[in-house]
Amino acid sequence: MPQLDIYRPSACALAVFIALNLAACGGGGSSSSNDNTSSSTSDTPAAPAGLGYAETADAPSGVLAYIDTGATNQRGLACMATLESNAGVRVLKGFLDMWAPLAAADGKVYVDADVAAAADGSCPAVAKSSWAGIPGDATDGKVLNAAVHAANIDYVKTATKNRSTEQALAAYMDDRRKKGYSIADGMGPLTSIWRTGTGQTTTIVAPVDANAAVTKVDDSGNNLGLTTSALGTAVTFIDSGNIVDGSTEPAKRFFKYARPYRWSTDVIVVPSLESAKSSNAATDGGFPSGHTAEAWRDALPMAYLFPQRYQELITRAMEMGESRILAGMHSPLDVMGGRVQAIAVVAYSLNKTDQLKATAARKQVQDYLMAQTGTSDFNALLEKARTPVTSDKANANYDRFSNYAANKTFFSEKLSYGLPKIAANDGKAPTVPKGAEVLLETRQPYLTAAQRRVVLKTTQIDSGYPLANDEEGWGRLNLFAAADGYGAFNGDVSVTMDASLGGFNVTDSWRNNIAGSGKLSKLGTGTLRLAGDNSFSGGTQLNAGTLAADSVSALGKGDVYVSAGTLLCNAPGKLAIGGAYTQLAGTLQLALSSSTQGTLSITGTATLAGGALRVSFPGSYKPAVGDTLTVLTAAKRNGSFSSITVDGFKVTPTYTATGVLLHIDS
């Protein structure tokens, strides 16, 4: 059968069009009555007006920005020993809602746990702390929020009591191995290629029994790999965030909060890690978790270089935090603190990185992985990176992050660990830290820096959760959700995707449920896919490229206006348009997976003032000759398409007062 067939009316069909209200040709058909000509220009609706402005997300004013002060994350220096003077401490100030650290003799709290800092100019000397590190001791701090603290320690009690043998083994490996090696698991089917390319090695092997005591083993292998390897430029780029101003030690020495097994004997450390416990509690604070922070400091630069696995890599980092809890070594607040501080550290590092070096590192990673996988471009490599290659969990290339829904659920839960909200902080307006938009730079290259800031603003968590009330907003960032695009259109959003630039400029998918009263305008040659349960009401305007509706509510509740480009309806049901539908030119492509899935259901008026209709059948569904497909329904239908193409079939269209039907002729 022919692949394409553009409808050309027969004499009988022309008679129908002219008479406007005659029975369909051939006898026995249903009648078709309505104007089958395009609407006149004067009758063509105007494009959706939207709100007339774009939302902004300015950095909070009057606040010291981490990306400007990250170099102050030091210990042993009198001028960087306070909350106000140390960025690594200040970013975690939300912890002070729950815990008051031990103060010095002058009543102030310093970065001082085991390091005395000499006087420096106007900064007075800081004496060594008397903190013993044992909860309940006279030198301990004070719990300020008993509910949060109890829930924090109770989580570890339950987790360590109920952990499986497999979880105990994973906790051992994540503790002992270098974090960059472990994070490489997030590369899924490309893990072995990545480790070979970077020269990553490890001397740590799984113990025969994770629940038995073992001798402490130091990993003499490499952290991220070798600078002389095939991915040496990338190794240098990733490691820059770890060796410069990235330590969690200043914060540990300021907050002086004990590890969970010191808070409760019901916390059961993995037996094979008993030898890894420090014997000096006074230098072994739990908050924030250093292992967790290091994992994030590795994962985020990797995701920057290889955004095809962005969400999988940061899910692996989140898993590393959970692993520290399962080990009995840290509490939820500890790992949350490690995550928050590390995100700020990486943003600080990326903002001061030379762009030529960053570009060279990205190109090296993409070129190397394409060569090793036999792929020719970014999107082919994307498909390869998300296609599992083995079901063997013991295989290094097993992709345990292949389930998007599971990743999203896990990640969302671990942002707060279900800890009680702090009522005084609840419901505050969103804030986006200065420079945080760099974290999405390669994931959403088609958005401006200002737009990426709004993405971070509309996807962040509530301020009421513990650690979510720092002045800048680092504790509220939800990078997994941000990678899925806007959470709301609180202003008009105009997206230009230039496919010639490659990467996610070619095609990307927004999977969030987008709310708000703003309008979406799609421009440029690339493809933007909308897959959420969307409720935005300002309308949608397609001016160029492709806009794909991958859910039944993808286009929200407003009017839809197609002036050029291709609107692809790929929904798993009838695509609902909550307002009017207007098509002046371009193509409406209906990808039917059944007689109704992928069709259009329009609440308002459908104005067909030109443009093409194409119907395709991408799956197993194919209509039979003699079938009639109702491809468009509306409250009222005006005008007609300039052409109709149905893949593999010849059809006769019927325009009714409220829709468009296609009879399958042959």
> Could you read off the pLDDT of 269-290 as tens digits, one per residue?
999 999 999 999 999 999 999 9
Question: Which of 441, 459, 477 is a domain's end point?
Answer: 459
Question: Which of 410, 438, 459 is a domain's end point?
Answer: 459
**SS3 of 482, please?**
helix
- Residues of the chain under the 50 pLDDT cut: 1-41
d(CA 125, CA 283) in angstroms, rounded, equals 20
Same domain, 402 and 518: no
pLDDT of residue 11: 37
d(CA 500, CA 329) in angstroms, rounded, equals 49
Is 392 inside any structural domain? yes
pLDDT of residue 420: 97
Residue 586 Cα distances to 77, 489, 614, 629, 632, angstroms: 64, 25, 11, 22, 17
d(CA 440, CA 436) in angstroms, rounded, equals 8
Same domain, 43 and 74: no
pLDDT of residue 234: 96
Same domain, 27 and 70: no
Is 404 inside any structural domain? yes
CATH number at residue 352: 1.20.144.10
What range defines the domain where residue 494 resides? 11-50+489-664
Question: Which of 411, 444, 459 is a domain's end point?
Answer: 459
Same domain, 116 and 36: no
Same domain, 433 and 557: no
d(CA 477, CA 456) in angstroms, rounded, equals 7
Same domain, 299 and 171: yes
**SS3 of 61, please?**
coil
- H helix or E strand, kind and range, residue 66: helix 66-69
Same domain, 194 and 337: yes
d(CA 131, CA 114) in angstroms, rounded, equals 9
Same domain, 247 and 134: yes
d(CA 344, CA 438) in angstroms, rounded, equals 11
**What is the pTM for the complete model shown?**
0.93
What's the pLDDT tens digit per position in 478-524? 999 999 999 999 999 999 999 999 999 999 999 999 999 999 999 99
d(CA 91, CA 69) in angstroms, rounded, equals 11
DSSP-derived secondary structure for 403-435: -HHHHHHHHHHHTTTTPPP-GGGTTPPP---TT
Same domain, 410 and 497: no
Within 575-635, strands assigned E span: 575-577, 581-583, 587-591, 600-602, 605-609, 612-616, 628-633
Is 234 inside any structural domain? yes
Is 77 inside any structural domain? yes
- H helix or E strand, kind and range, residue 546: strand 546-549
Same domain, 80 and 36: no
Phi and psi dihedrals of 176, rounded to 5? -85, -40
Q: How many domains does the chain have?
A: 2
Is 466 inside any structural domain? no
My answer on whether omega of the bond before 307 falls inside 30° of 0, hence cis, is no
Is 581 inside any structural domain? yes
Is 588 inside any structural domain? yes
Same domain, 140 and 20: no
Same domain, 431 and 507: no
- Give the closest residue to 458 by CA, choosing from 434, 478, 436: 478
What's the pLDDT tens digit per position in 191-211? 999 999 999 999 898 888 888
Is 468 inside any structural domain? no
